[in-house]
Structure 1
Amino acid sequence: MDHIHKLKKLDGLVPIFINAQTGQFRQHSTITLGARGDSYYEYLLKQWIQMGKTEKNLMDDYLEAVSGMEFHLAKRSHPSKLLFFAELHGASKSVVNKMDELTCFMPGTLALGVHNGMPGHHMDIAKELLNTCALTWLKQPTKLAPEITYFNVAEGNEEDFFVKNNDAHYLLRPETIESLWYLYHFTGNTTYQDWGWEMFQGIEKHCRVENGYTTIGNVKSATATKPRDRMESLFFVRNFKIFFSFIF
């Protein structure tokens, strides 16, 4: 973390790959809050808290990163103007209006930060982004989120987002569920419980099998979910622990 602190970033945002020989970021690499990028931002804050809020570099890097997200990644869909965090691709860092389910850790992280003294407007971002994340689940007939969602940003679109067939799988991800937990406990808003209950029922209906729970290949159909015969170990460690602590 000391090394990464010293590297040049894009207003606190980091490419997802580092050259192991030089220790420098690979400049063509994607900047994303999703796959391969999410944990960096999450653990800036959590390390700072865990270490007694004594490591100023962690706090500074976190605050700079959130500001960078607001400036470079925060976008609005059409027609409903849903907030989402886009990605920056290639050396030119062109904007791609897609968001991984993994990005939905961010509302909970922002809320945790506010609870520990970070700027209050971060909670507004958390609430808006979590609303978007929840819709990526609840608008599907299975009530389960796809791995990747694409957002429409041009005026004239009738739907705010869509899912490509190759991205329609649900891998028992817990990120949105964990964010619901944080927001419920910090705000007391029972809407977050209600959303969590719908998601839990979706998992029970479409992922539960005789001897456990399976990932599925298609959240866009309640009748052709394409079970994959694979259960991630994180499912019991995170999903169930979180569910039982705020919806039961």
Structure 2
Amino acid sequence: MMSIRHLRSWILLLFLICTAVLNFSLSDPDSHLVRKKFLMKQKVRRMFYHAYDNYMKYAFPHDELKPLTKTFTDSLSELGNLRLEHLPQNYNGSALTLIESLSSLVILGNNTEFVRAVLWLSENLTFDVDARVNLFECNIRVLGGLVSAHMLATDSRNRFSQGTYKNQLLILAEDLGRRFLPAFSTPTGLPYAWINLKYGVMENETTETSTSGSGSLILEMGALSRLTGDPQYEAAALRALRKLWSLRSSLNLLGTTLDVVTGKWIEYSSGIGAGVDSFYEYLAKAYILFGKDEYWRLFQSAYVAVQKHFRHGPWYHEADMRTGHATYWQLTSLQAFWPGLQVLVGDVAAANSSHREFFKVWKKFGVLPERYLLDHQILHPTEKYYPLRPELVESTFYLYQATKDPWYLEVGESIANSLNLYTKVNGGFASVRDVSTMVLEDHQHSFFLAETCKYLYLLYDDSFLLDQNYIFTTEGHPLPVLAAWHDRLPEVYTSNYTFLQRSNLVRRTSAMSMQICPAITVSTNNNKKGDQKRESLCHVADARSDHRCLSDEDCGVDATSCRRRSCSIAGYCGLWLFV
């Protein structure tokens, strides 16, 4: 038996060891951060494969998984089809979730499964099917998934053995793109919202479309044109985008829905949520991907209008496009993408402010409800669901990339824990039908694998981004930023690494950080010390209802010159002069 003296010695030794470990952890916070990232990366990896493996087991090659019953749904023709009208009779799916998972497999490092999936699609996928689909949804999910995966399959990493991959995904993408083109044969150039993949535009097809549906096609169709050398895809998308912008109000605002034949607006209320969201997103991202100044000019005008007429503190309400008067005071889950877009163009402070409010609502319910009435601080009476949407984690990822604030890692952990607690079931991950009761719905949307899991994983492991700049489409599919696609491309987008100067701090940044906060040179006649570096493309002030400021924080940075503005004693914002 151990003596009392020996026992005390062992206790003392154990105490000293624990103290040393604790002191090491406290003195080396980086090691704690590395461990947290590693553990969270593994947790998210398990989440992805729980969703993916169950899809492959119970639903493939159909479109999406029904995780509660472990069956499937051929849902491509149902996306955006709220009334479930004109559903096909002999459509058996297009492996939608597999297509959506391709780039996620690459980001997770599973090249073996990626190759297997590409070869299966090459041999089995066809779009010669009698199915009426939503042009926007099919574009961002299927065409975007194929174009992105093609570019990943042909990059320098040689994922395929020599001669195995022969541009099969690009051939499929071009076939799909050709089937889209009849939708653009309208007097306005705005595309029909619906197209039959086999027969084109159906007789008596609805002429109503959304701003997002007609103005968010340029990334995928533009990339298809650049890859194939056929300009007609990009030309069709660009014509629609230009026409849509020409229909804006005198306030530079656009409504939610309009008629593709007459160009007349149907719904004048607008915001940054459903029906409009990706229109703003694609203006900024098209500028980065294709380098056309036209996209940036449009985005600046549109962004200033949003800040002036929609923003109320950290929130964004909806307003009449003609008058700017508020119409609906509500949070919609799709709005949560906005902070990520603001980070992409450098408006980090405003992004952080809105993101924190979205996360407060997430914590209140455990997930983010589809609609939350801000003026009454209650759930919308009918839209109480959460379909595994990615927007909040997407913005969390962008904000962490820009700031490296470990708080965003904790946000990601909270989101992952909520998803595992409330939505994980034996057969995958299920949507939430009612966030007040957490009753589940039998549907695992393909974007859960394309976006939600992907952005969560990138939050903790961004190694995919270290050697190449990417633009992520609104469905989370990465498209590399290539100098060959630009008339002129800022050097910051093409170099692999850069050093950014912040006061006396020099730090190395990843390619994604460079993309978010490109270091640009601002010249001014008042600058006696030479050019100044700014880590921003554009900051815009929070325009108060009376157009007056209370502090410098209200003024931001001038949208055209990127010069900092300050609040005068009289309460007006003015340009700050370099000294």
**TM-score normalised by L of structure 1:** 0.82
Q: Which of 204, 207, 228 lines up with 2:423 in the alignment?
A: 207
Residue 62 (structure 1) aligned with residue 304 (structure 2)? no
Contact 1:170 1:219 in 2 (8 A): yes
Structure 2: gaps spanning 5 or more residues = 1-240, 462-579
| 1:226 counterpart residue number | 439
Residue 86 (structure 1) aligned with residue 325 (structure 2)? no
**Helix, strand or coil for the counterpart of 1:149?**
strand
| 2:401 counterpart residue number | 185
Q: 2-side partners of 1:230 and 1:150: how far apart?
A: 26
Q: Which of 171, 178, 196 lines up with 2:412 in the alignment?
A: 196
| 1:149 counterpart residue number | 372
**Helix, strand or coil for the counterpart of 2:270?**
coil
| 2:387 counterpart residue number | 171
| 2:343 counterpart residue number | 111
Instruction: Please list the CA deviations of residues 110-140 of structure 1 after superposition, one character each: whole Å capped at 9, or x if unmatched.
Output: 10112xxxxxxx2221111111111110122
Greater relative contact order (Cα < 8 A, sep 6+): 1
Residue 17 (structure 1) aligned with residue 257 (structure 2)? yes
Q: How do 1:38-53 residues align onto structure 2 when only pairs under 5 Å count?
A: 38-52=277-291
Mark the CA change 1:89 to 1:214 in structure 2 (over 3 Å): closer, same or farther: farther
Mark the CA change 1:170 to 1:10 in structure 2 (over 3 Å): closer, same or farther: farther
Return the letter of the residue paired with 1:71: K
What percentage of residue pairs aligned between the two structures are identical?
A: 22
Q: 2-side partners of 1:106 and 1:48: how far apart?
A: 17
Mark the CA change 1:131 to 1:10 in structure 2 (over 3 Å): closer, same or farther: farther
**TM-score normalised by L of structure 2:** 0.36
| 2:355 counterpart residue number | 130
Q: 2-side partners of 1:204 and 1:132: how far apart?
A: 22
Q: 1-side partners of 2:447 and 2:327: how far apart?
A: 31
What RMSD over aligned residues (CA atoms) do the two structures have, in Å?
1.9
Contact 2:331 2:373 in 1 (8 A): yes
| 1:157 counterpart residue number | none
Return the letter of the residue paired with 1:112: L
| 1:240 counterpart residue number | 453
Q: 1-side partners of 2:254 and 2:441: how far apart?
A: 33
- The alpha-carbon deviation at position 86 of structure 1 amounts to 0.3
- The alpha-carbon deviation at position 12 of structure 1 amounts to 2.8
Structure 1 segments of 4 or more deviating over 3 A?
89-94
- The alpha-carbon deviation at position 10 of structure 1 amounts to 5.0
**Helix, strand or coil for the counterpart of 1:12?**
coil
**Helix, strand or coil for the counterpart of 1:167?**
coil
**Helix, strand or coil for the counterpart of 1:96?**
coil
Return the letter of the residue paired with 1:179: S
Contact 1:11 1:64 in 2 (8 A): no
Structure 1: gaps spanning 5 or more residues = 77-82, 115-121, 153-159
Q: 1-side partners of 2:247 and 2:407: how far apart?
A: 41
Q: What is the aligned residue count?
A: 220
Q: 2-side partners of 1:217 and 1:22: how far apart?
A: 38
Q: 2-side partners of 1:66 and 1:137: how far apart?
A: 26
Q: Which of 93, 99, 111 lines up with 2:331 in the alignment?
A: 99
Q: 1-side partners of 2:302 and 2:251: how far apart?
A: 6
Q: 1-side partners of 2:379 and 2:317: how far apart?
A: 15
- The alpha-carbon deviation at position 88 of structure 1 amounts to 1.8
Mark the CA change 1:147 to 1:10 in structure 2 (over 3 Å): closer, same or farther: farther
